[in-house]
Chain A
Amino acid sequence: AQTVTQSQPEMSVQEAETVTLSCTYDTSESDYYLFWYKQPPSRQMILVIRQEAYKQQNATENRFSVNFQKAAKSFSLKISDSQLGDAAMYFCALQGAQKLVFGQGTRLTINP
């Protein structure tokens, strides 16, 4: 079975600062992908970043980067230079064969 755990229900950060959201996962598959999705108040699900498990290099998308620790089954998201528009629910997700499983989410608040 695949599981994804986000241990931080809520996080807050000052505008322009850096914040890290945690995610751990468990899977018996060797070929899988990891994602971070953002869900703003509109509830639209927006892909933030993806990581292929076979790649050792951490993925980066502008201000968003991940720290992928495969042996520890950890996949954290770092947001640099936080902006007010980053306020949202953030979901970590694990993609195995056919199915995508989500964590419970972390609500991120940006303080101006």
Chain B
Amino acid sequence: SQTIHQWPATLVQPVGSPLSLECTVEGTSNPNLYWYRQAAGRGLQLLFYSVGIGQISSEVPQNLSASRPQDRQFILSSKKLLLSDSGFYLCAWRWGDHSPLHFGNGTRLTVT
């Protein structure tokens, strides 16, 4: 069966520090991968998605970036965090264009 791992679960970082969140999927190949952010009490905002290695589509211009160095690995990064980057980050995957998304457990990021 397929599983998705996302870490860390919680992170507190000072303004201006770098960020690296990692997500890996097991049990499938060539998944579509996604990064979403959820501000407190609000909906999910799509940040990045990838349909293959090295293929990244950005939905929101900001100081975040994403990379897919391996087929089942998706990394969300920042060189310098802003206070506005605080939120709940969710990684997700699906196989094919119309199957449901399967989510990781999320990372709660607090920028102080």
Contact = CB atoms under 8 A, between A and B. Distances in A.
Our verdict on whether A and B bind, yes or no, reads yes
A99 B49 contact: yes
Interface stretch (B12-20, B21-29, B73-81, B93-101): B93-101
Interface string B81-110: 000000010101000011011010110000
Interface size range on B against A: 20 to 34
A25 to B, nearest CB: 13
Interface residues of A, number: 21
A99 B45 CA distance: 11
Contacts, number: 46
Contacts of B97: 95, 97-98
A102 B43 contact: yes
B51 A104 contact: no
A91 B36 CA distance: 14
Interface string B44-73: 101001010000010100000000000000
